[in-house]
Amino acid sequence: MNTQRLAQLSQRMSMITLLLIVAMLVLNAAVWLFPVLSSSADGLGFGFALSDRQIQGRAEQVALFPLWQILGGIVLSSIPLIALACGLNHLRKLFQNYARGEYFSRAAALHLGKVGKAVAIWVLLDFLCEPLLSVWVTMNEPVGQRMISLSVTAPSFVALFMAACIAVIARILWQASEVDSENRTFV
């Protein structure tokens, strides 16, 4: 692939990443406002991990929530997604650097490292926000039907492994940028 096509592909990926960030946050809010969109049996499958775990099986109840409870659900379920959005924004900036031909730059290494950190923070916040969200969702239930949920899923471990891999690759890219910088000073 020549450099012009690689630059165009990187620019497209930057735009797709931005669209993904917006779509992710909008769809998360939408499943709280319109629970039928979630991935329950009769839904359309637009649920996200944390929101989906709380809405699944109780979409009819969530549809009857007062507005303040829905807004609280949106906020609590968006906290981990905002961390992920920050990481995706750094990924978008990385693609922008690549589109400018900055393959071995320190900025590219920093952006990639921040992607890895954001993914790890996303997993941690998802784990921490789930009990809060489960209490929030069931607070109006009668005593004995309220619940606190906490889950550790296989995708969480995969995401943490990916975050570690991205962090190592970012270190390698940082080292490559140092070598590239040294080579440029000799030329």
The 8-class DSSP code of residue 101 comes to: T
| Length of the chain counted residue by residue | 187
pLDDT for 128 equals 94
| Alpha-carbon gap, residue 23 to 135, rounded angstroms | 27
Spatial distance between the Cα atoms of 148 and 58, rounded to a whole number of angstroms? 15
pLDDT, tens digit, for every residue of 133-151? Answer: 999 988 888 888 778 888 8
Separation CA 91–CA 158 (nearest Å): 19
Query: What mean pLDDT is predicted for residues 26-52?
Result: 76
**Cβ–Cβ < 8 Å for 105, 177:** yes
**Confidence (pLDDT) at 159:** 93
Inform me whether the pLDDT recorded for 16 exceeds 60. Answer: yes
pTM of the model: 0.86
Give the whole-angstrom CA distance, residue 82 versus residue 36. Answer: 23
Q: Where do the domains of the chain lie?
A: 3-186
